[in-house]
């Protein structure tokens, strides 16, 4: 079966712009989580959505937001981009959010 698909793979944006990243989970998975990976901070939890509702949120500013659609696909939005937002953004899906997550290959965001 198809895995977790993230688009785009690479993105270059300018400071102050906004960006939207997309994640298509494994079919049947209702939980989608987002993580930010940087060399300095490692992997940090952004938020989790389950059946279109945000169930958990990490310690990120309000510029980071997300949503989940009825087909479980999720989008993550970052507004007013800063240089420090440059990172690999990973999406992960799970049946219920506990059994174990399957990750996508990520979107590499570079802010210049």
Partner 1 sequence: AQTVTQSQPEMSVQEAETVTLSCTYDTSENNYYLFWYKQPPSRQMILVIRQEAYKQQNATENRFSVNFQKAAKSFSLKISDSQLGDTAMYFCAFMSLTGANSKLTFGKGITLSVRP
Residues in touch with partner 1 (CB under 8 A): 31, 33, 35, 42-43, 45, 48, 50, 55-56, 58, 88, 90, 92, 94, 96-98, 100-106, 108
Q: 48 or 85: whose CB is closer to partner 1?
A: 48
SS3 84: helix
Minimum distance between the CB of residue 29 and partner 1, rounded to whole angstroms? Answer: 12
- Going by C-alpha positions, the residue among 106, 108, 97 that lies closest to residue 68 is 97
Minimum distance between the CB of residue 16 and partner 1, rounded to whole angstroms? Answer: 27
Question: Are the C-beta atoms of 107 and 43 separated by less than 8 Å?
Answer: no
Q: 18 or 41: whose CB is closer to partner 1?
A: 41
Q: 18 or 43: whose CB is closer to partner 1?
A: 43
Give CA angle at 89 (60, 105), nearest 5°: 155
Minimum distance between the CB of residue 17 and partner 1, rounded to whole angstroms? Answer: 23
Question: Are the C-beta atoms of 105 and 6 separated by less than 8 Å?
Answer: yes
Minimum distance between the CB of residue 15 and partner 1, rounded to whole angstroms? Answer: 24
Q: 17 or 105: whose CB is closer to partner 1?
A: 105
- Measured in whole angstroms, how far is the alpha carbon of residue 112 from the centre of its chain? 20
Query: What stretch of H or E contains 48?
Result: strand 42-50
């Amino acid at each position: 079966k198809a895995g977790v698909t993230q688009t785009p793979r690479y993105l270059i944006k300018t400071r102050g712009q906004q960006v939207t990243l997309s994640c298509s989970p494994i079919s049947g998975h209702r939980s989608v989580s987002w993580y930010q990976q940087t060399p300095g901070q490692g992997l940090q939890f952004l938020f989790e959505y389950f059946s279109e509702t945000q169930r958990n949120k990490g310690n990120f500013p309000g510029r980071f937001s997300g949503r989940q659609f009825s087909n479980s696909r999720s989008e993550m939005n970052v507004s007013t981009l800063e240089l420090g937002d440059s990172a690999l953004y990973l999406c992960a899906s799970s049946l219920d959010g506990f059994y174990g997550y399957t990750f996508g290959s990520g979107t590499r965001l570079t802010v210049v």
